[in-house]
Structure formats: C-alpha cells, structure tokens
C-alpha cells in the first residue's frame, strides 16, 4: 500500500470517527425523510426536481455535520412545520381558512405569523447586541441573548417559508410553488441567509461584537419587508407568472441570495473596520464612513416614501428618526465600540471570506440564470437591466478578489470597496425593480 493510499484512508477514518451518535441519527432522519417525500410526492415531480431532492439529502447531511448547530435547527424547523401542517389538516383535509381560526396557526405557525415573529426577533436581537456593546463590563450576557434571538429568528423564518410553501398548494395545485418568487419572499430569504452566515462566523471567530453591525442591515431589510407587506399586501400568495414556472427558480434564486447576503455581511464588517480605524479621530470631516451610513439610512425613507401610498409616509418618518438615532449613537460611542471589536486582522479575514463565498454562489447563480433565460426567453443574455446590473456586481467583486489575491489588497481601500459594493448590490437587488423595467418586471415595486 503506497503512502497516498494510506493518507487517504487515514483522512477518511478521521472524518467518520469524529461523528457521534447524533450525527448518525440526523443523517438517518434526513435520508428517511427525503426518500419518504420522493415516494409520496414523486408523481408530482419531473426528473429534474427528483434529482434536486436526491441531491439535497447528502448536502443536508454534510451541512449538519460541517456545522453541528444546524442539525438541531433543521430538526426543530421541520418539526414545527409538520405541526403547522397537522393543524391545517385537523378536519381531514387541508383548509387555508384555519390560519385565522386555529390559535396555534393564527398566532405562531401560519407563514405570516412565523414571519412576523422573525421580524420582531431580528429587531430585538439588534437591540440586545448593541446593549451588549455599550454595557458595563464585557457585555457577554446581552450579546448572548442577542445571538440566541437570531437563532430563533432564523428558525421562525425557515418555518414560515416551509409553511408558506404548503399553504400555496392549499390554494391550488397549479398555484403551489417554492416561496422564492417575489420581493416579499426573497426578502425573507435574504434575512435568514445573512443571519445564518453571520452566526457561523460568530462561532468561528468567537466574537459577538459584530452582531450589532450585521443585524442593522438585516433589520433594515425587515423594515422594508413590513412596509411592503402593508402597502401591497405582499404576504398574499399569488400564482406564478409563466416565466417563473421553472425548476431553475429553485436553484437560481437561493444561490443568488447567498451572494447578496454574504456581500451585505462583508459590507457591515467593512463598516466596523472603518469605525475601529477612526475611533480616535476628532476631525468630523474625517468620519466619512459614519456620514455615509447616515446618508444611506436617512435617504432610504425619502426614496420609499415617494414609491408607496400615503399610508406609508408616517412609517418612513419613524424609520428616519430611528436611523438618525442609530447614526448619532455610533458616532458618540465609536471609541467604546472600537474597543469591543475584534482585531483588524480578523475583520479583514472575515470580510475576505464573506466576499469569496458570496462571489462563488453569485457566479453559480449567474450561470444558472443564463440557462434559465435560454429556456424561458430563447437567449442566454439579453442585456436586460437586471442582467446588466448582475454583471456589474459580479465584475465589482471579481476585481476586489483579484486585487486581494494578486496584489495583496488589505485595509482601508478594501473596506471602502466592500462598503461601496453594498450600494451597487442593493441597486441590483432593489433599485432595478424600482426605477427600471425589463424582462424581470414581475419583481417591481
């Protein structure tokens, strides 16, 4: 037996020897559950969907083994979703009207209730993270509460997503679809993906000091989600437009939003980097990053106030006031914040890893989108505004990674670049839907 073979066997033995009984139980539950779904609902799936389901089984097991807290999260989410389905089927047949009459559905487990819980919990987690930042001593307790709230919020978001998927089929088999088809659904997707990646990095780097920064962008997304729900009743499940009736959607959209979520995470880490760097700065005109945040946060209400009904005006004025308070608090507490933040090396490494992961998935999403476009519209690329801005986002982060890996880009320039990247990404994600039209006009505001 040669050395390479011996090394391979040793690595394999090491990997499997680290598995405990819960790992194997989790793998068995995932495998049995996946095969049951295939047996029960396989007749409703085409060959591609069956392939996606079978591929999801080992991927899910690997994710649970790679990051063990996910095992518990996934099992709890599935259990809650099954409870919700059971409540819908108490009379022997699924009935969507039960969402307004059954206590457990009305206040906890219907998709809308679960997503509202998600929203509240993300807001609360943001508050506790910042209380931990300014608390006396180390602030561990507040930070821990904030972290636990994020876990619960992610769980409620996933539960709401699964239940919404089931609810769409209660409306009609021709209406049922994976809930990643409109702005309401993808904002939920964006929130929990961004939060989940943050939780992984929080554990990996053993610091909760960045929670307040990352949860700011998640809370901003939640704020938009609530407003959009009110003015458009966006929580109502609608049939898919013809272009979205494709299995490509199940792959393209999640991959896209892993990119969006990690790009947003990297930008907030970059913002923390710049705050730490300028903690002792007394010249106000040098505090450019903070002023930039203030302009963005306070300009957002002005933009959206013009796009919605008058009923949304007071909402955005409250949002404006909260944004101004946040900016002022960070401004006056920047020295204390800087002391709590991890080292520049950790911030720089986290920024890089977030962008690298996001770029990989965004590249996959772009390729999948081209294949989907060829099937739906007869061409791989049509220079539609959404496609054009997706290319701009891709080129921006490709250049960032090239400069990092080939030229050793670090520090202030890379942080500013990542922060500007969030502006570009936000316009590609939301601005195109607001101000431009094209083949992707089904996502307009």
In this predicted model, what pLDDT tens digit does every residue of 378-424 receive, in sequence order? 888 888 888 899 999 999 999 999 999 999 999 889 999 999 999 89
What distance in Å separates the CA atoms of residue 155 and residue 114, rounded to the nearest whole number?
9
At residue 193, does pLDDT exceed 50?
yes
Query: Has residue 4 been placed in a domain?
Result: no
Domain boundary among 191, 221, 251: 221
Same domain, 262 and 383: yes
Token pair of 203 as six digits: 């554990």
Domain count, the chain: 3
* For range 235-248, the mean pLDDT: 85
Same domain, 159 and 248: no
* For range 318-324, the mean pLDDT: 77
Same domain, 343 and 319: yes
Token pair of 127 as six digits: 């508050």
Domain boundary among 176, 192, 221: 221
Token pair of 199 as six digits: 């939780």
Query: Has residue 434 been placed in a domain?
Result: yes
Domain limits at 245? 241-445
Domain boundary among 169, 191, 221: 221
What distance in Å separates the CA atoms of residue 256 and residue 340, rounded to the nearest whole number?
33
Is the separation of the CB atoms in 307 and 227 below 8 Å?
Answer: no
Same domain, 277 and 146: no
What distance in Å separates the CA atoms of residue 24 and residue 345, rounded to the nearest whole number?
37
What distance in Å separates the CA atoms of residue 226 and residue 237, rounded to the nearest whole number?
16
HEC string for 333-376: CHHHHHHHCCCHHHHHHHHHHHHHHHHHHHHHHHHHHHHHHHHH
What distance in Å separates the CA atoms of residue 221 and residue 226, rounded to the nearest whole number?
9
Same domain, 42 and 166: no
Burial 334-345 (b: 16+ CB within 10 A, else e): beebbebbbeee
Query: Has residue 2 been placed in a domain?
Result: no
What distance in Å separates the CA atoms of residue 166 and residue 110, rounded to the nearest whole number?
10
The DSSP secondary structure of 218-264, one letter per residue, reads: HHHHHHHHHHHHHHH-TTS--PPPGGG-STHHHHHHHHHHHHHHHHH
Tens digits of per-residue pLDDT, 109-151?
A: 999 999 999 999 999 999 999 999 988 777 789 999 999 999 9
Query: Has residue 3 been placed in a domain?
Result: no
At residue 265, does pLDDT exceed 90?
yes
Query: Has residue 408 been placed in a domain?
Result: yes
Same domain, 377 and 253: yes
- pLDDT score for 441: 56
- The predicted model scores a pTM of 0.91
- pLDDT score for 7: 45
Same domain, 135 and 21: no
- Return the axis-axis angle of helices 140-171 and 111-134, rounded to nearest 10°: 170
Question: Averaging pLDDT over each range in 176-180, 294-298, 328-332, 403-407, which range is the top one?
Answer: 403-407
Judged by average pLDDT, the poorest of 4-8, 331-335, 432-436 is 4-8
Query: Has residue 363 been placed in a domain?
Result: yes
At residue 444, does pLDDT exceed 70?
no
Same domain, 62 and 181: no
Same domain, 294 and 268: yes
DSSP-assigned letter for residue 421? H
Mean pLDDT over each residue of the chain, to the nearest integer: 86
- pLDDT score for 40: 85
What is each CA distance from 94 to 79, 166, 167, 229, 426, in whole angstroms?
18, 9, 9, 25, 39
Same domain, 427 and 352: yes
* For range 145-167, the mean pLDDT: 97
Same domain, 310 and 258: yes
Same domain, 126 and 193: yes
Nearest to 220 by CA among 278, 177, 161, 271: 271
Q: What are phi and psi of 104, to 5 degrees?
A: -60, -35
Query: Has residue 115 been placed in a domain?
Result: yes
Query: Has residue 227 been placed in a domain?
Result: no
């Amino acid at each position: 037996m040669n050395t390479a073979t011996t090394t391979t066997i040793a690595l394999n033995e090491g990997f499997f020897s680290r598995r405990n009984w819960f790992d194997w139980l989790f793998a068995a539950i995932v495998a049995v559950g996946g095969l049951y779904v295939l047996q029960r609902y396989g007749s409703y799936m085409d060959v591609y969907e069956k392939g996606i389901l079978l591929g999801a089984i080992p991927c899910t097991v690997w994710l649970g083994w790679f990051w063990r807290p996910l095992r518990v999260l996934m099992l709890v989410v599935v259990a809650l979703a099954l409870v919700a389905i059971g409540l819908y089927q108490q009379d022997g047949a699924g009935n969507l009207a039960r969402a307004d009459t059954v206590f457990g559905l009305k206040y906890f487990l219907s998709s809308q209730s679960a997503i509202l819980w998600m929203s509240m919990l993300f807001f609360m987690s943001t508050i506790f993270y910042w209380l931990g930042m300014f608390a006396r001593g180390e602030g561990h307790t507040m930070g821990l509460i904030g972290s636990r709230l994020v876990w619960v919020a992610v769980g409620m978001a996933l539960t709401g997503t699964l239940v919404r998927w089931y609810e769409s089929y209660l409306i009609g088999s021709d209406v049922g679809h994976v809930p990643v088809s409109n702005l309401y659904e993808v904002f939920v997707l964006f929130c929990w993906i961004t939060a989940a990646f943050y939780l992984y990095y929080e554990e990996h780097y053993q610091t909760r000091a960045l929670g307040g920064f990352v949860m700011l962008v998640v809370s901003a997304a939640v704020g938009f989600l609530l407003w959009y729900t009110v003015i458009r009743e966006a929580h109502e499940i609608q049939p898919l437009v013809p272009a979205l009736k494709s299995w490509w959607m199940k792959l393209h959209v999640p991959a896209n939003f892993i990119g969006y979520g990690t790009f947003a995470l990297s930008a907030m880490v970059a913002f923390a980097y710049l705050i730490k760097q300028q903690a002792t700065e007394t010249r106000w005109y040098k505090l450019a990053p903070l002023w930039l945040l203030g302009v963005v946060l306070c300009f957002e209400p002005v933009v959206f106030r013009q796009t919605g009904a008058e009923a949304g005006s007071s909402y955005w004025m409250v949002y404006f006031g909260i944004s101004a308070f946040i900016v002022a608090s960070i401004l006056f507490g920047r020295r204390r914040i800087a002391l709590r933040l991890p080292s520049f090396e950790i911030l720089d490494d986290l920024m890089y890893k977030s962008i690298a992961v996001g770029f990989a998935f965004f590249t996959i999403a772009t390729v999948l989108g081209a294949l989907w476009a060829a099937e739906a519209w007869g061409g791989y690329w049509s220079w539609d505004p959404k496609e054009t801005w997706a290319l701009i986002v891709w080129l921006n982060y490709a250049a960032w990674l090239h400069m990092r890996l080939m030229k050793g880009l670090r520090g202030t320039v890379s942080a500013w670049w990542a922060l500007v990247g969030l502006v570009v990404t936000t316009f590609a994600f939301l601005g195109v839907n607001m101000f431009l039209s094209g083949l992707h006009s089904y996502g307009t505001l």
